[in-house]
Chains A and B, each alone.
Chain A
Amino acid sequence: MTKTKKYWKGLAELNNDPIVEKLAQNEFTEEIPVDEFLGDSGLANSSTSRRDFLKFLGFSTAAATLAACETPVNKVIPYVVKPEETVPGIANYYASTIYDGHDFASVLVKTREGRPIKLESNKTCTNARVQASVLSLYDSARLRNPMKDGKDSDWKTVDTDITSKLNEIKNNGGNIALLTSTIISPTTEKLISDFSEKYGNVKHIQMDALSSHGMLEANLETFGVRALPNYNFDKADVIVSFGADFIGNWGHPNNESDYSKGRNPKNGKMSKHFQVESTLTLTGSNADERIQIKPSEQAGLLSNLYNALNGSSTLDKRIAKIVDSLIEAKTSIVVCNSNDKEVQLLVNAINNKLGNYGSTIDMQKTSYLRKGNDKDVSNLVDDINSGKIDALITYNVNPSYNLVNADEFNKGLGKVDLKISTSLYMDETAINMDYVCPDNHNLESWGDANPSNGEYTLMQPTINPLFNGRQFQDSLLSWIGSSEEYYNLLKNSYSSWEEKLHDGYFEGEQVNHSLTSNFSAPSFSIPSSKGIEFEISEKISMGDGSNSNNPWLQELPDPLSRACWDNYLTMSASTARDLGIKNWHVSNGALNGSKVNITVNSKTLENVPVLIQPGQAVGSVAMAVGYGRTNAGKCGTGVGHNAFTFVNGGKADISIIEGEHEFAGVQLHHTMMGRDIVKETTLADFINDPSSGNHREKYYTHDGLKTSDQVTLWDKHDHQTGHFWNQSIDLTLCTGCAACVISCHAENNVPVVGKEEVRKSRDMHWLRIDRYFSSEMTKERSAEEKISAIDMYSEMEDPSENPEVVFQPVMCQHCNNAPCETVCPVAATTHSAEGLNHMTYNRCVGTRYCANNCPYKVRRFNWFQYSDNDKFDYNMNDDYGKMVLNPDVVVRSRGVIEKCSMCIQMIQEIKLKAKTNGVSVKDEDVQTACSSACSTGAMIFGDSNDSSHEIYNLKNDPRKYDLLDHLNVAPSVFYQTKVRNKS
């Protein structure tokens, strides 16, 4: 019976399908492409049997193991003559200055064994770009030698050629143009005038990649001084900014710290900050109230504001609140980013009407950081094209890349007889030049700076020039025919030189401007424009693009879009919907987006990706400059598109095209989904009750309602005996500027992983700044309107069109009840009595249990060997780039977890210093890399067992809260509630 019974595996077998027969023979119907994955056709034909193979494998493994047991022979090479100030293992600090034509900062340079490895701020704020500039020093894309006609040459040849040609031009009465960035060095200015004297018809033209020409001209007309004013943001009760990103990229670097001084709710008083803009900037995201406008409406609104202050009743209701606040306030500041002189004249008139000159705006202590003259530059381009210029020397500028009419400039260059660039790189401009005389990096050069009236800084070399470059000033001297060195020239310009050099920053001679007050208020109306308008934006990572080849900056996520290695068109969700543009997540969570062609002022950029950015005004689009470099070096070349083409803005024609773009974002969600990750309150509530907004959840137990720490299962650590390191992060003061992120990179040898890896969420940042947008949907609203939970949560995912923004720096929270420690099978992560969570890389076997159990997701896994690996061709795969590594911190290898150590190397160093001197640890000395880079004072680090330290008070502040308090992980890092000055 049973023998005759047949079971079919399927209909195919019943029907005698030939595939069944085939499957019975082979597991797969198609042939497996063995050759393809073996790669070597020889392998298939080899006679080595599997047994032989295993024997060889066994033998070679054993041999390799035995060989590995031998101690490697290491060399130790001392100096022949040790410089007196150098002690191996001990860092030296030198005061110097960073100025690259765009960013300025007075810095302390930390050097180890003669190598600069880190920059700290010295009296001025340092932004992310300044922090990262130490890596640019070690950029192997820098020119090694002077170049003649694109070939390596030597200084003697180049100098002889240039001098003879310059003399020829002089004798023929030719014109020489010297195109430089804004020059803030008084000694260089003197040198340029010497050069002009020597060669006669020399025209010195200063240009800024992102120009403030309009404002400078307006001030010249109003006050008779062509300079930018000094703003005291700390003294203003009301701050109104029309598009000016003064925290991120606009004006003096100290704006940020000044601003935050006036924003500390501790004193019961905060400035009220309005931002009127179309593109969401860092400053806008910090504003108490943000008003979205189209770029073309700016002038009209300012006019409206001016009239309203003068009593007019026709008021645009969008700015009604601003007018009320301004009239009410004692002191205020109104700033505007417009590059239109007429608009800036109006802004001057508004500030004058409000009586701000002399109180919050200082026209005596003027800033000299922008001097560029757009008119001169456009005249120069005309002159070049009409063959009037015989020699062109460029310094610190890259006009072929960042001029709006770069094509015209490049075309005309053929008519110039002698073209010299002094760029450090073979950049877009240098490649068109006859001679390239590479300048030295700031950290290899002597110099001085006069960033604002009465404020001076000095620049000193902290390392011998790495390459055969020569600083621009010495080049000029040599072309003048002087045998003097720039160093001597500089030294002789200042009295008590050594003292000043030691300090790096000093108050000096202040010019007394004789000011006129020639105020005028041009009138503008608000155009009724339809269609989409374009404006440029600037990222805090890339700036004007001169640091484009810096991998730290390329991988620094934008604080607002959280995307890196890219620029893109930002657009509001509703505009995108109208145009049929989409952003979507692919299977691994990464973000993809549509691509468009965009035409502005009859110029077109093709294949531009679009990122939907909450906060971008409806009907406007923006794109960051600094990308789309064609000759930047291996990191910067070909990343993004060059938005300098559209620098003047205008009507945009956008047509969606086929294809999709892959973004590399580090944060894929926008909102907090109704959780209290960032706790918030308003100033009024805070004054009533300092703990407002800081509600601590209680839970039902058999013993009544209790907070999470009262129902703990954990044994307490003894944190009382020694130190207890804590860090407080004030979310009110944090502006999201990301200087701390780069500072952490530099201090802790954090690797760069590249765009593809970031897309796979394998970024290695030890410190990230989470950004959350507010949503229209809240739990309260859903309860009121009886919206179902599913609908509520799905709506919560969408940020508002004009959202409130919060930034939250998150590093390892150093939990004292640490979830990671309990799950590590090899005890590679352990707890210290000083309140730190230690990570022992050499013990880690890479199970990643800890990362999975970490509620804050701050643990990073080394998927690959990021150093000495051609697949990750960034600074750690480069003999020069590796010189920036901090020798006190190990470079992690593949297969281990790494994370923030709370800069334990710095803590140990400070403790040792105290022990050797036999004193207790001084409060002001204790810093982490992030807290030392924080110019707003948002991050405070210290020993909370020391009641005299600020951290002790912060720990007991009513605003203090632990992130994810309900987990009772008792972190050593805590936050202070964000206070907004809004009603």
Chain B
Amino acid sequence: MVSLTNLKLRVLFLSVLCFLSFNSVAQSEGEQIFKSVCAACHSIGEGKLIGPDAKEWMTSERFTSTEDPEGTLIKYVQNPAAFGVIEMPAQALSADEIKAVLNYINEYVPEEKPVAVSSDLSEEEEDNAISNIYIYIIVLLLLIFILTSVKNSLKESLSQPTETVLESVKNYITINRNKIIIGFILFVSIMYLVYNLMMGVGVVEKYQPDQPIAFSHEIHAGLNGVDCNYCHSSAKNSAHSGVPSANVCMNCHAVVKGGDDEAKNEIGKIWKSFGLDIETDDFDWNKVDTYTQTPIEWVRVHNLPDHAYFNHAQHVTVGGLECQQCHGNMQEKTVGQVATAEELNKIDYNIKDGIEFDHPTLTMGWCIDCHRQKEVNMEENDYYTEMHKNLKEKHGTEEGFTVDMIGGLECGKCHY
């Protein structure tokens, strides 16, 4: 029964995927603009998000009651302030573009949500693995029974005394030769377990602590396409990527207050760090100094020990790595999490750079994996000019100079 429902779900999921991919191919201009410009604040037919539902808004009396509903809509989008609306910023879109968006909204057919399905799938995989083990055990036990009964019937035919299943197992174990074999097997498996246990010490893959604010990277970096560096602004020029200070959040959230109660509650926490209530107070940049400020205490996800030094600028700016190469597709996740090595191995950038991780994320082996495989781009940086020349002479090749060849494996580069 279980597998049958699973099958149904799989078919459903696949069909949704097909539908999605088909849709994305046939994406109209209107859809593109809507997704990149409007979708951050407006949904279609799904109720209020940050701004009102686009479909409801289009068909509201404010516009339908005018002589030229479409013309008014276009003017409204281009300059909402003229209509007394200050929450929505003016959009630099041409009349034609806005028309295309309006058409898209009109013709929009709601999609099925695949998110819930995918999470079911992963659970089901785990269930399968466990039930498989049970099946093996049952089969093995059956085998013991069958073999014992065969043995007994043979013994009966020879009119020797028979033995029960337990007795035969006991007899088997007490033979000296078998004792050694079983002992050896037990020893090896215990050592294997211990080894695995020890190798897991300090491995923090999938570490995802609860955060004071249910911040979603998916909504910000994924759905709204906010650049990673907008919030983690120091990653480009400092050792630390930096957790954004509350004033960076307020650049948007002074205006964007959340569509539903849940969102409002979370965004309210940022307001609270300024000593303000999102429902009743107004945020004024000129008065920030007068607010009672209490910082938000986030829980650190990527914990670097004191004895290891890591510099984001070196990797992001000089090395030219994308954030995803170490952090995974954060734009598809919610609160911060340590990506697994398997996940990172699937990242396109890593495949393109020829990087494959063998060690768990954030262990030293993992760093070394990359330093052994990543080639340094020496062409466009004058710092490397002299070194590049020397390396070419030394190795007799033109390229393929990985990080370890220029001292990337030296202890003192990270430990001091």
Chain A residues with a Cβ under 8 A of chain B: 69, 71-82, 87-90, 718, 720-722, 828, 830, 832-834, 836, 838-843, 888-891, 901, 904-905, 908, 911-912, 914-916, 918-921
Contact = CB atoms under 8 A, between A and B. Distances in A.
Given A69-B201, A71-B207, A915-B314, A79 B295 contact: yes
Contact of A79 (B245, B314, B383, B407): B245
Contacts of A908: 309, 311, 413
Contacts of A834: 407
Question: Which 8 pairs, one residue from A and one from B, show the smallest C-beta to C-beta distance?
Answer: A838-B412, A89-B238, A82-B245, A80-B293, A89-B239, A79-B245, A74-B300, A840-B411
B242 A78 contact: yes
Contact of A80 (B273, B311, B318): B273
30 contacts: A71-B204, A71-B303, A72-B303, A73-B300, A75-B297, A76-B297, A76-B300, A77-B295, A77-B297, A78-B243, A78-B296, A80-B293, A81-B245, A81-B288, A81-B293, A88-B240, A89-B238, A90-B237, A90-B239, A722-B390, A722-B407, A836-B412, A838-B415, A888-B239, A891-B306, A901-B412, A905-B309, A908-B309, A911-B383, A912-B313
Interface in B233-265: 234, 237-240, 242-248
Given A81-B288, A87-B238, A901 B416 contact: yes
Interface string B288-303: 1100011111111001
Contacts of B202: 69, 71
Given A912-B314, A918-B380, A842 B387 contact: no
Contact of B410 (A73, A75, A832, A891): A832
Given A78-B243, A78-B296, A843-B411, 16 more contacts: A75-B300, A77-B295, A78-B242, A80-B296, A81-B288, A87-B242, A88-B238, A89-B242, A721-B406, A828-B411, A832-B410, A833-B410, A834-B407, A891-B306, A915-B381, A916-B237
Contact of A721 (B248, B299, B391): B391
A920 B386 contact: yes
A836 B309 CA distance: 17
Interface of B: 201-202, 204, 207, 209, 234, 237-240, 242-248, 273-274, 288-289, 293-300, 303, 305-309, 311, 313-314, 317-318, 380-387, 390-391, 394, 406-407, 410-413, 415-416
> What does DSSP make chain A's interface, helix, strand, loop or mixed?
loop
B234 A920 contact: no
Contacts, number: 159
B300 A916 contact: no
Contact of A82 (B204, B209, B248, B407): B248
Given A73-B299, A840-B412, A80 B234 contact: no
Nearest to A839: B412
Contact of A78 (B298, B299, B318, B415): B298
Given A69-B201, A915-B383, A918-B383, A890 B306 contact: yes
A722 B387 contact: yes
> What does DSSP make chain B's interface, helix, strand, loop or mixed?
loop
Contacts of B237: 87, 90, 916
Nearest to B314: A912
Contacts of B416: 838-839, 889-890, 901, 904-905
Contacts of B384: 915
B239 to A, nearest CB: 4
B295 A838 contact: no
A842 B247 contact: no
Contacts of B299: 73-76
B285 to A, nearest CB: 10
B274 A80 contact: yes
A74 B247 CA distance: 22
Contacts of B242: 78, 87-89
A68 to B, nearest CB: 9
A937 B410 CA distance: 31
Given A71-B204, A82-B247, A840 B390 contact: no
Contacts of B381: 915, 918
A919 B382 contact: yes
Nearest to B250: A81
A285 B191 CA distance: 67
A926 to B, nearest CB: 13
Contacts of B308: 842
Contacts of A836: 412
A890 B387 contact: no
Given A77-B295, A914-B383, A920-B382, A88 B309 contact: no
Q: From A81, A722, A920, A921, name the one whose CB has the most chain B CB atoms within 10 angstroms.
A: A81
Nearest to A841: B307
